[in-house]
Amino acid sequence: MKRIIFILAIALLMMGCASTQNAATTQAEIEQKINEQRYTFVAQSVVPTEDSRFNPRLMFPQGNNLYQLTSRYDLKVTPDSVTAYLPFFGRAFTAPLDPTKGGIQFTSTKFTYKKNIRKNNFHITILPQDVSEIQSIYLTISPSGYGSVQITSTNRTPISYHGIIETP
């Protein structure tokens, strides 16, 4: 019986070491992909700047301004393009001409990309130059792969997303 407990303890210890090694590999992969500008931010929740109790047209519970997303929405970053497919909850000052173009959807091929590291987090600023409605995109990415995105638009109120970073 003591031998079985000892073997189980060794096995659990080895699995713990393996998961620590996998976490380090993940952190190295994330850092490499951020440096290469090849990653995808997958939004899991959204935080509009306006509270829903001030806008009765929004069909969300009053007083709660963090909404979990049930579909896949993302922001893909590559060295030659930034592609966004994200939902929008908030106030839009102009309506889109095409009703299928709701949310924040764009592809930018001309943009500036600046990366800083502060307190072990990556702070990335993307300024699209060929998409007139998007002023700036700010990403904050932790070494473990969690991140947030803030988008400032010319025709809409600012909005934030929280999610994870996927590396292809």
The closest alpha carbon to 166, from 89, 71, 73, belongs to 73
Summarised one tens digit per residue, pLDDT across range 68-120 is 999 999 999 999 999 999 998 888 888 777 777 778 999 999 999 999 999 88
The more confidently predicted of residues 158 and 168 is 158
Mean pLDDT of the chain: 80
CA distance 69 to 17: 34
pTM over the 0.85 mark:
no
Summarised one tens digit per residue, pLDDT across range 46-55 is 988 764 444 4
pLDDT category, 21, cuts 50, 70, 90? very low
Domain ranges of the chain: 2-166
Architecture of 2-166 per CATH?
Beta Barrel (2.40)
CA distance 77 to 152: 17
DSSP the chain: -HHHHHHHHHHHHHHHHHHHHHHHHHHHHHHHHHHHT-EEEEEEEEEESS-GGG-TTS-S-TT---EEEEEEEEEEEETTEEEEEE---S-BSS--SSTT--SEEEEESSEEEEEEEETTEEEEEEEESS-TTEEEEEEEE-TTSEEEEEEEESSB--EEEEEEEE--
Structural tokens at position 164: 């994870």
